[in-house]
Structure 1
Amino acid sequence: MGGGTVDRRTDTREAIRSVALEQFGERGYERTSLRELAERLRITKAAVYHHFATKEDILASLAGEFTAPLDELLAWGDAQRPGPDTRRELLRRYAELLAGRHGRLVRFLDSDRAGLRGMPAVLEVYRRLDSLCALLTSGGPAFAPGSPADPAAALRARLSLSALHSGSGSGPGGGAGRVSEDEVRDAALTVAWELVDR
């Protein structure tokens, strides 16, 4: 009997996180309330508070879930020899990481920057994305170790991540579902590779 209670609590916590991310993406962080989340889930506001004291706690939980695998990707990239193959593999792995909830989170963070300004959990995600851009920029064609960043290479690295963010979980494209989500993701990865291969 105790196991069922744990499962129900875990399910409620995950449901709150999923619905919150959906609402944050649709309405924006500021316009989403814990009361609305409770209503949407058909639970009491007290049940939401049992799992998360604030909206910021929910967002921190979602961001933390993303930063752990992102840290693993950064550690892998740091251990590799800089160059085109490493940049392409970093982007491939990052695209894989963006599947599902992580892609929705990053698209929301990109779209609601003003509403999220200064939030510690969000700043941690941005800091890691800056580190990923640095890895994508290092070892570029006109790059020597220790030289200052090439502004064009840095911009291409940021645009490559934006391409992956746009292509992750965005649904089928091409009107009437003629292009599958996998095809959209593959196209985004191709564009990202083209940007960093220059």
Structure 2
Amino acid sequence: MSGSTRFTMGSSTGTGRRRRGDTRQRIQDVALELFSQQGYEKTSLREIAEHLDVTKAALYYHFKTKEDIVISLFEDLSRPMNELIAWAEEQPRTLETKLEIVRRYHEALIGAEPLFRFMQENQATLRDLSIGENFKERMISLAKLVQEPDASMKDRVRCISALFTMHAGMFFMRNVEGDPEEKREAVLEVALDLVTQAYGGSATG
């Protein structure tokens, strides 16, 4: 897979690396930070505007409601996930392809860490906005692409666990002491090991 295009979440790879001159992205950054810190319901559009040092009218030019902001964030998340799924569907169903899916998804998750933190801490809001269901559908598609249709139940669990190991790693590894890059590499290695075991583990699983 050398030379293949890597995927990141939207046109940014994390709040710290967004183009700061882009007003729309600045609004997304600040809103996501406030949503994560104090909750979606407790954050107002006025407060977002104040943190940006812009008028509420200027914010309205880009987003009319908080829901519009959240939907835009998930559109940024969904686009590269859709691209990854489309790419994977055209590849041979080999172990190499499955491991590359895991690597690309891991890179995408690193870029979208603030959004996933918001998802974790505002689950009720996501249900109300029906956004969580759309994300769930994409996760089901990815899970199918990293496992074989005739795999044993244990191997299917291994493949699904590989994806959610990366999710859990973003949240729980933050409380574990150590170098951030080393922790990310460890999470990826465990996820890759799970898929590798599943691919060659049907006979013994």
Q: Same fold (TM over 0.5)?
A: yes
Change (3 A) 1:188 1:84: same
- Tell me which of the two structures has the higher relative contact order, counting C-alpha pairs closer than 8 angstroms and 6 or more residues apart: 2
Q: Which runs of 4+ in 1 moved over 3 A?
A: 150-158, 166-175
Determine if the alignment matches structure 1 residue 115 to structure 2 residue 125: yes
**Aligned-partner residue type, residue 87 of structure 1:** K
2:184 is the counterpart of 1:185: yes
Q: Give the percent of matched residue pairs that are identical in Structure 1 and Structure 2.
A: 40
Deviations 1:112-141 (A, max 9, x none): 2222104244432222122111212235xx
- Per-residue CA deviations over 1:47-68 (Å, capped at 9, x if unaligned) read 2112101111111111111111
**Matching residue of 2:15:** none
How big is the shift at 1:165? 2.6
* CA distance 1:85–1:183, change in 2 (3 Å): same
Report the TM-score when normalising by structure 1. 0.76
* 1:125 equivalent in alignment to 2:127: no
Instruction: Note if 1:80 corresponds to 2:82.
Output: no
Instruction: Compute the TM-score of the two structures, normalised by the length of structure 2.
Output: 0.74
Determine if the alignment matches structure 1 residue 25 to structure 2 residue 24: no
Q: Aligned in 2, Cα 1:94/1:19: closer, same or farther, shift over 3 Å?
A: same
Contact 1:91 1:192 survives alignment (8 Å): yes
**Contact residue 117 and residue 171 of structure 2 kept, 8 A:** no
Q: 1 CA distance for matches of 2:129 and 2:116?
A: 15
Are 1:62 and 1:105, in contact at CA under 8 Å, matched by a contact in 2? yes
Question: Does the alignment pair 1:52 with 2:51?
Answer: no
Partner of 1:135: 145
The residue type paired with residue 184 of structure 2 is R
Matches within 5 A, 1:58-97: 58-97=69-108
Moved more, 54-63 or 74-83: 74-83
What one-letter code is carried by the residue in structure 2 that aligns with 1:114?
Answer: A
Seen in structure 2, the aligned counterparts of structure 1 residues 154 and 171 have a Cα distance that, compared at 3 Å, is closer
* Residues in 2 aligned to 1:170 and 1:75: alpha-carbon distance in whole angstroms: 30
Query: Of 21, 25, 29, which aligns to 1:14?
Result: 25
Which amino acid is 2:125 matched to? G
* CA distance in 1 between partners of 2:28 and 2:47 (Å): 13
What is residue 165 of structure 1 aligned with on the other side? Answer: 167
